[in-house]
Structure 1
Amino acid sequence: MRICGPDTSKILARSTAAVLAVLTLASCASGKPEAKVDHLCAIAPASQEDELLRGIIRADSFETSIPNRTGRLVEMLERSLREMAPTKETFAPSTCRFSPPTRTESAAFSVGWAPRTSKFVEPSLPEAGRFDVNGAFGESNYHSTMLFVRCDMPGDLAEPSKSAWLYATASYTVNLGRTDIAPADIDQPAKDRQTSLAYLMTRRVTEALGCENKPLAKPPVVRPLPTP
């Protein structure tokens, strides 16, 4: 018999520990992998998200805050889509926040719904550049990105989703208060990095929601649009 964990003869001496031992042994014998992480914030080392995030926050490491687990986030978004007013965007619950370990700045992300006819969809960020990225669209300036995505929901949410955009907001406070640059000096590559990271983090939400059109499945290719 293969034994996994500490000395079982000692563990079985206590009833509570015995239960834990049985569970441990069962897991070891079954060979089943550990459960998937129940949140959308894991950044794999050397991934595209990792490279983009480190460049944006200008740090070699970061701390991760997880405001909402996946199930809770999906529950809130499904409920808010059902209850969305005809002309008003919904509250956008937070998904993830990343901060350099020795600074207060952060890159933070949230998602919500907006009626497609709402003025909320119109450009509103100061000194922002507009973009299209694989059919999603929005705008990005020196500290924020707004991304609007078509998400065709399944089941009873199919009809409401036809008249809504899933919107994502990304806040990059690492650029606020900097004296070495002016807002207008944030170049297009910097805006593209911010947009690409917002796209990749929002992709996780569309996958969790089960958007049937898989709107963000392709790698992000940011195409700047002319200013109206």
Structure 2
Amino acid sequence: MTTISTAAKRSALALVCLVAAAGCSVEDAKPRAADPCAIADPSAERDLLRQITGSGDLDTRVNSTTEHLVDSLKADLRSVPSSPWLMCGYVPTQQKSGGRVQLQVRWQSREYREQFPTGSVPVEVNGAFGRSDDTGSVLRVRCDMPGDLRSQSDHALLSVEESFGIGATRTNMTQADRDRQTAFTYLMARRVTEALGCENKPLKRAPVVKQLPLPTPTPTPTP
């Protein structure tokens, strides 16, 4: 059984409080049908994004409509692993070259084993697993697709990947900062799972980020 530190518990509690304290519920912040990147103000996503970028005014870059993203991911599910789709980006209005956030999504095999770069921390958020570090967060989640795509989805995980601080060096990052990044990744991943119609509804709860111990390295066989 994994033991969660007191600091991690406090961090998780703080994130739940942050989401609950937002001016509207997560359900109220659903994107428009033609725009999976739209973020309402106020909303939990907007509050997290402002803290991540350190900016109140953001330009939204939309790279795909909901319909195109869903069609592309459905097609990709027949050939896993797939290349990432750049979904959307957020750039501080007064800081065009840095401090931005980008989101991309792809399918990966359930047998895929993450290589954890130095400084990365394994995380779990309500059954979605991944990692977080100073440059971004990744979450992988099971999505039971409806209809004839169900059998393909039994062998794949939806991977939602956020890149933070592109073009800007961020210093003095804390675990609370990384947890905010992961919580934002989770809320945006929820939009993708809802658009795809994942029958298991994997991300319906408010995000509670937990840090996990690093995996034990596999010993190298002796010749």
TM-score bucket (shorter structure): 0.7 to 0.9
Q: Does 1:117 align with 2:104?
A: no
Residue 201 of structure 2 corresponds to 214
Alpha-carbon offset, residue 124 of structure 1 = 2.7
Q: Is the 8 A contact 2:33 2:66 kept in 1?
A: no
Aligned with 2:88: secondary structure? Answer: strand
Paired residue for 2:140?
A: 148
Q: How does 1:31-50 map to 2 (within 5 A)?
A: 36-50=32-46
Shift of 1:45: 0.7
Name 1:128's counterpart in structure 2: 120
In structure 1, C-alpha distance between the alignment counterparts of 2:124 and 2:168, rounded to whole Å? 25
Q: Which runs of 5+ in 2 are unaligned?
A: 1-31, 216-223
Q: What is the aligned residue count? A: 182
Tell me how far 1:42 sits from its aligned partner: 1.0
| Higher RCO (CA 8 Å, separation ≥ 6 residues) | 2
| Greater mean deviation of Cα atoms: 97-106 or 70-79 | 97-106
Give the alignment partner of residue 157 of structure 2, picking from 155, 165, 172: 165
Root-mean-square deviation (Å) = 1.4
Question: What secondary structure is seen at the aligned counterpart in 2 of 1:207?
Answer: helix
Q: 1:145·1:169 contact (CA, 8 Å) conserved in 2?
A: yes
Runs (4+) off by over 6 Å: none
Instruction: Give TM-score scaled by structure 1 length.
Output: 0.76
| Structure with the higher helix share, 1 or 2 | 1
Whichever of the two has the greater Rg, that structure is: 1
Please tell me the residue identity of whatever aligns with 2:165: T
State the shift of 1:75 in Å.
0.7
**C-alpha deviation, 1:123, in angstroms:** 3.4
Cα distance in 1 between the residues matched to 2:33 and 2:148: 28
Change (3 A) 1:192 1:175: farther
> 1:65 corresponds to which residue?
61
Q: Secondary structure at the match of 1:146?
A: strand
Q: Which runs of 5+ in 1 are unaligned?
A: 1-35
Percent identity, aligned pairs only, is 40
Q: Report matched runs for 1:16-31 at 5 Å.
A: none
- Look up the equivalent residue of 2:115 and give its one-letter code: P
Q: How far apart in 2 are the matches of 1:111 and 1:145? A: 12
Aligned equivalents of 1:126, 1:101: Cα separation in 2:
32
Q: 2:101 aligns with which of 100, 107, 118?
A: 107
Q: Is the CA contact (8 Å cut-off) linking 1:123 and 1:138 kept in structure 2?
A: no
Aligned to 1:54: 50
